[in-house]
Amino acid sequence: MASYRTIFRMLAIQRVLVKYGLDEIIKETHLLRPMRFLFYLAPRRRDSSAPLGERIRLALEELGPIFVKFGQAISTRRDLLPPDIADELAKLQDAVPPFPANEAIDILNDAYGEPVEAVFKRFDVEPLAAASIAQVHTAQLPDGNEVIIKVLRPGVHEQIDRDLRVLRMVASLADRYWVHGKRLKPIEVVNEYEHTILDELDLMREAANTAQLKRNFQGSDMLYVPDIYWDYCRPEVLVQERIYGTPISDMDALRAAGTNIQVLAENGVEIFFTQVFRHNFFHADMHPGNIFVIHTDPEMPKYAAVDFGIVGTLSPDDQRYLAENFLAFFDRNYYRIAKLHLDSGWVPPGTRVDQLETAVRTVCEPIFNKPLAEISFAQVLMRLFRVAQRFNVEIQPQMILLHKTLFNIEGLGRQLYPQLDLWKTAHPVLKQWMDEQVGGRAMLRDVRDNLPQLRDALRELPAILQHLGEQAANGRIQFNLNSPELREMRRQLEEQRRQRYWLAAAATSTISGALVITLGATPWVGLVLLGAGAIAAWFARP
């Protein structure tokens, strides 16, 4: 049962839509539709003569952080939106109205327990930028370093909590009454989004995310991540190095500086796939307001990223599943894509693989080997959605952040370099990652990782066998040679025996090969022994 506050918030949302003359959205809103006439009586209704894009932007700003982030997410999709609406929504990236500077100073005074002028050598009262969750001021540390100070908006916790209650209510209704509710898992999606947005409200977490990404790209010539000044960070305050660069949305300035736009676009794709597959830690809020370009060397431009409040990770199984799907797509192996969906449990067990293969081929084949400018991913996704409906594909909530990030990447790619060959750029990164996961080095790593477990198991085995023997001798165990338990025990013992044999063979061959190569005697023999060790490690896998 929804609380009265949640219901009032839903009414307030519709009132704001009416206030800005967005009547068509009201007419399409089925929830509380019988009462919609009440909102036409709402006072201070805005003149609908203002441009539609401006009215949508103002409505999202008034509705608060969650709705602003929705506008940010779709503002990069100029292939989906009319230009005037896309231009207005792009203002949500860095032009959200700021809150008063004296409120920011009060937050900083409380956070540090002393006046802000005693903490910083200089504090600039005028905000540098304002966003839906926080706003940014520039300052200078006592040692002279230039920094930015990110301060959470006052009352943002309460505002987001209120809107999350609305989302949970709508998701519950959708799950119960919407025909696609069970398959799209709206409750799980909202839970995933709630986890993400609440993480974003802890600026200490954002600082930790920034530090991790900086380590991941230490020494990179493609991406720069700013330093964090930990002594000045608090849950509601983040202090980091100030970045000087050109906003990626300022294409005129980038071209005027002679920036190699093709290299910039290709590096952006490589950075994304590197984060997802090599690091398994990706920036999941890559809208243009968070990306800058350092073009001191125009031929080798470098990205500079900020705002790591939202990052994503995937389980090893999801990583492997995605990589195999991407590679199968690059190879036009649609049977493999269909089989992966079936093996992962994303489609019902009785699904015919050949039928799913044909459906995927029909959608994907027309866009293959085309530059980004000639691909409408909106249409492709709509067609894939119809395929998903037909085959009862379950949408996985853990993929929502990745989907959002892919949309942002595509939007940036279209804006930067529409001729980008997305497949050609991404394929080498994925191929290398897959080779590392299933190649010889991966097998040797499995041997190394499993040796401690094998050692511990061998140490415990005599005590376990002695204990079982004593219980059998005292009559406390009744043996049924055909019982499922004993069959499973025999199977496990046989599996352990097999693993011990192959692990021992792998270890012996690997050590022998390393010794032969180290001693310099007939290197080819050492390579053969190492190869044999890798093969044995493969057979030792459970």
Asked whether residue 512 is assigned to any structural domain, the reply reads yes
Q: Which residues, in sequence order, are bridge partners of residue 24?
A: none
- Position 243 scores a pLDDT of 92
Residue 292 has pLDDT above 60, yes or no: yes
- Structural domains of the chain, count: 4
- Position 32 scores a pLDDT of 46
Domain final residue pick, 44, 67, 90: 90
Per-residue pLDDT tens for 153-167?
998 888 888 878 877
Residue 304 has pLDDT above 90, yes or no: yes
Domain final residue pick, 64, 90, 116: 90
Q: How confident is the model at residue 511 (pLDDT cuts 50, 70, 90)?
A: low
Asked whether residue 361 is assigned to any structural domain, the reply reads yes
Q: How many CB atoms lie within 10 A of CB 158?
A: 9
Q: Which amino acid is at 498?
A: R
Residue 51 has pLDDT above 70, yes or no: yes
Higher-pLDDT residue of 212 and 440 is 212
Q: How confident is the model at residue 301 (pLDDT cuts 50, 70, 90)?
A: very high
Q: Do 433 and 286 share a structural domain?
A: yes
- Position 218 scores a pLDDT of 93
Per-residue pLDDT tens for 8-34?
777 777 778 778 877 665 554 444 444
What are the respective helix, strand and coil percentages of the chain, to the nearest 5? 65, 10, 30
Q: How confident is the model at residue 442 (pLDDT cuts 50, 70, 90)?
A: low
Domain final residue pick, 147, 171, 197: 197
- Position 507 scores a pLDDT of 65
Q: How confident is the model at residue 455 (pLDDT cuts 50, 70, 90)?
A: low
Asked whether residue 105 is assigned to any structural domain, the reply reads no
Q: Which of 63-72, 134-143, 377-386 has the lowest mean pLDDT?
A: 377-386
Q: How confident is the model at residue 127 (pLDDT cuts 50, 70, 90)?
A: very high
Q: Do 404 and 284 share a structural domain?
A: yes
Q: What is the share, in percent, of the chain residues with pLDDT greater than 70?
A: 63
Q: Under DSSP, is residue 194 helix (H, G, I), strand (E, B) or coil? A: helix
Q: How many CB atoms lie within 10 A of CB 18?
A: 21
Asked whether residue 115 is assigned to any structural domain, the reply reads no
Asked whether residue 112 is assigned to any structural domain, the reply reads no
Calpha distance 17→324 (Å, rounded):
44
Q: Do 314 and 401 share a structural domain?
A: yes
Residue 510 has pLDDT above 70, yes or no: no
Q: How confident is the model at residue 235 (pLDDT cuts 50, 70, 90)?
A: very high
Asked whether residue 15 is assigned to any structural domain, the reply reads yes
- Position 446 scores a pLDDT of 61
Q: Do 373 and 277 share a structural domain?
A: yes
Q: How confident is the model at residue 240 (pLDDT cuts 50, 70, 90)?
A: very high
Cα angle for residues 147, 273, 217 (degrees, 5° grid): 35
Q: What is the mean pLDDT of residues 294-313?
A: 91
Q: Do 460 and 406 share a structural domain?
A: no
Residue 385 has pLDDT above 70, yes or no: no
Q: What is the share, in percent, of the chain residues with pLDDT greater than 90?
A: 22
Calpha distance 256→248 (Å, rounded):
13
Q: Do 319 and 410 share a structural domain?
A: yes
DSSP class of 46: P
Higher-pLDDT residue of 94 and 49 is 49
Boundaries of domain holding 10: 4-90
Q: Which amino acid is at 248?
A: I
Q: Please name which of 311, 375, 387, 374 lies closest in space to residue 347, comparing C-alpha atoms.
A: 387
Point out the residues that are catalytic: 285
Residue 529 has pLDDT above 80, yes or no: no
Calpha distance 293→116 (Å, rounded):
31
Q: Do 303 and 399 share a structural domain?
A: yes
Q: Do 385 and 489 share a structural domain?
A: no
Residue 297 has pLDDT above 50, yes or no: yes
- Position 166 scores a pLDDT of 77
- Concatenating the DSSP letter of every residue in 103-156 gives HHHHHHHHHHTS-HHHH-SEE-SS-SEE-SSEEEEEEE-TTS-EEEEEEEPTTH
Q: Do 261 and 406 share a structural domain?
A: yes
Q: Do 369 and 278 share a structural domain?
A: yes
Q: How confident is the model at residue 1 (pLDDT cuts 50, 70, 90)?
A: very low
Q: How confident is the model at residue 206 (pLDDT cuts 50, 70, 90)?
A: very high
Residue 524 has pLDDT above 70, yes or no: no
- Position 215 scores a pLDDT of 95
Higher-pLDDT residue of 135 and 473 is 135
Q: Do 78 and 36 share a structural domain?
A: yes
pTM for this prediction? 0.67
Asked whether residue 450 is assigned to any structural domain, the reply reads yes
Q: Do 270 and 189 share a structural domain?
A: no
Calpha distance 430→326 (Å, rounded):
8
Asked whether residue 224 is assigned to any structural domain, the reply reads no
